[in-house]
């Protein structure tokens, strides 16, 4: 029953993705549409959603616990990233793609897929925990992840900017989250009409995110797709190794049950969309991550309900 409930929770998300795919096929949507949806989500609807949910679902007593959760998320993702590096060496995979392989292996799509999936599975109370994992995921990606993707194709001894990495980390969703935390710390309240506005704008996040994924899948050219040995290990890492590391780490930290469940689901999500964007920007293999993004999104219909079933047994 739990597995079926997991599938039932994912189906509305999959249907909206299909709508995005079909409307792109019919030329209603295009690349510019996906860019617009992405900007609206990242800069407007998601910050509003974060602020609203932090204000409604967190109190002062939970803030220390949230800090412990953030440490757990950082450790589990970092360990996954290190394991990916060792796998390339042990398995004698393409050393020219070590940064790309490690990023695909360790970093998941914590917002565009993670947020709507966790909301569907656990409700709005899961949103603050979704952002905790997002902060760890984003911070590590825009630092060690970006550095090694660039190192695959260029000498960057003098070309890596910590300032640029920090700018990527300090994003509008994080600022919305931090604003909510500050309001809680100082015991401030917002007028009802402001909170209602934040909720209405925040409610756009899930449908726009899923339409964005549908557009992205349609625009990914799979005609030349070949399933090689490296991709098999990436599937293994994204769907099994990384979630198992998260489960192992959670046994060492005394976190609440909902946070544990959210972290496991976050760790098993499809590949992070920004990996393909960064690969294109720095002349790395753009098609490789794009294919992995498309396939892992399709496989999530099976993987996410499976982990939903597993975490109900474990926690």
Ordered DSSP codes for 205-254? HHHHHHHHHHHHHHHS--TT----HHHHHHHHIIIIIHHHHHHHHHTTS-
pLDDT of residue 124: 82
Residue 260 has pLDDT above 70, yes or no: yes
Q: Which residue has the higher pLDDT, 148 or 72?
A: 72
pLDDT of residue 195: 92
pLDDT of residue 72: 93
How much is the average pLDDT of 266-294? Answer: 78
Query: Could you report the per-residue pLDDT of 149-166, keeping only the tens digit for each?
Result: 877 776 655 555 667 667
Q: Residue 277's closest CA among 140, 40, 105, 109?
A: 109
CATH number of 2-314: 1.20.1530
Start-to-end C-alpha separation, the chain = 17
Question: Per-domain residue ranges for the chain?
Answer: 2-314
What is the residue whose two structure tokens read 């710390």? 185
Residue 294 has pLDDT above 60, yes or no: yes
pLDDT of residue 248: 92
Most confident option among 51-65, 173-187, 212-226? 173-187
How much is the average pLDDT of 247-269? Answer: 92
Residue 49 has pLDDT above 60, yes or no: yes
DSSP 144: I
pLDDT of residue 286: 66
Give the global pTM. 0.80
How much is the average pLDDT of 263-290? Answer: 80
Residue 10 has pLDDT above 90, yes or no: no
d(CA 242, CA 262): 14
């Amino acid at each position: 029953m739990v597995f079926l409930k997991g599938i039932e929770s994912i189906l509305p998300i999959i249907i909206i993705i299909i709508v995005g795919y079909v409307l792109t096929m019919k030329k209603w949507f295009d690349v510019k549409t996906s860019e617009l949806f992405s900007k609206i989500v990242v800069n407007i609807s998601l910050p509003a959603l974060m602020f609203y949910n932090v204000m409604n679902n967190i109190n002062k007593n939970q803030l220390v616990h949230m800090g412990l959760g953030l440490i757990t998320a950082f450790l589990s993702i970092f360990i996954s990233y290190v394991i990916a590096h060792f796998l390339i060496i042990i398995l004698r995979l393409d050393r020219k793609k070590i940064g790309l392989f490690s990023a695909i292996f360790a970093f998941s799509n914590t917002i565009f897929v993670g947020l709507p999936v966790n909301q569907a599975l656990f409700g709005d109370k899961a949103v603050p925990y979704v952002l905790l994992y997002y902060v760890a995921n984003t911070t590590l990606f825009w630092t060690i992840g970006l550095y090694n993707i660039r190192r695959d194709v260029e000498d960057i001894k003098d070309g890596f900017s910590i300032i640029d990495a920090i700018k990527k980390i300090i994003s509008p969703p994080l600022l919305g989250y931090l604003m909510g935390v500050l309001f809680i710390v100082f015991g401030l309240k917002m007028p009802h009409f402001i909170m209602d506005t934040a909720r209405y704008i925040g409610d756009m996040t899930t449908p726009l995110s899923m339409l964005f994924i549908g557009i992205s899948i349609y625009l990914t050219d799979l005609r030349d797709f070949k399933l090689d040995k490296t991709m098999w290990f990436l599937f293994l890492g994204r769907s099994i190794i990384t979630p198992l590391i998260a489960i192992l780490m959670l046994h060492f930290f005394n976190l609440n049950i909902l946070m544990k469940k959210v972290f496991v689901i976050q760790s098993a999500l499809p590949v992070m969309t920004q990996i393909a964007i960064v690969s294109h920007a720095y002349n790395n293999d753009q098609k490789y991550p794009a294919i992995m993004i498309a396939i892992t999104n399709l496989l999530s219909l099976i993987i996410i309900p499976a982990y939903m079933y597993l975490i109900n047994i474990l926690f």
